[in-house]
């Protein structure tokens, strides 16, 4: 899987929007952008994924740059429960199978 770069940590206030950036300048045309998060003392949890167009689901939105070299995970109204490590992962979709390659992710801190 191609490499991603994320800030080590970010801080935000409760009930405010949060924008978590991810750079993936070596992304290929067949790579999907996946986001997972890991809450304290829990297993990772799928958040959202996309290929080219922006995506929304009940948890978050994913904004993908036109050149696909970066993306942003948007939490529209952060709660204390959103404090977690967020991982941006590229997944080759051209065939075959593999596990997820987790980097260090972004540690999101939510202040009450």
For the chain, what percentages of helix, strand and coil (3-state, to nearest 5) are there?
5, 45, 50
Q: Which of 16, 45, 54, 79 binds another protein (CB under 8 A)?
A: 45
Nearer to another protein, 54 or 102 (CB): 102
| Of residues 81, 78, 77, 72, the one with CA closest to residue 19 | 72
The yes or no reply on residue 68 touching another protein (CB under 8 A) is no
Number of residues that bind another protein (CB under 8 A): 21
CA distance 36 to 48: 7
Minimum distance from residue 85 beta carbon to another protein (Å): 9
The yes or no reply on residue 92 touching another protein (CB under 8 A) is yes
H or E segment and range at residue 80: none
Interacting residues with another protein (CB under 8 A): 32, 34, 38, 42-46, 49, 91-93, 96-104
């Amino acid at each position: 899987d191609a490499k991603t770069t994320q800030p080590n940590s970010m801080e935000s206030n409760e009930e405010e929007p949060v924008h978590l950036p991810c750079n993936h300048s070596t992304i290929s045309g067949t790579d999907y952008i996946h986001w997972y998060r890991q809450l304290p003392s829990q297993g990772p949890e799928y958040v959202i994924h996309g290929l080219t167009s922006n995506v929304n689901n009940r948890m978050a939105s994913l904004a993908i740059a036109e050149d696909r070299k970066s993306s942003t995970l948007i939490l529209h109204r952060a709660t204390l429960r959103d404090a977690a490590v967020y991982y941006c992962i590229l997944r080759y979709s051209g065939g075959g199978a593999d596990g997820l390659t987790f980097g260090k992710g972004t540690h999101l801190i939510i202040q009450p």
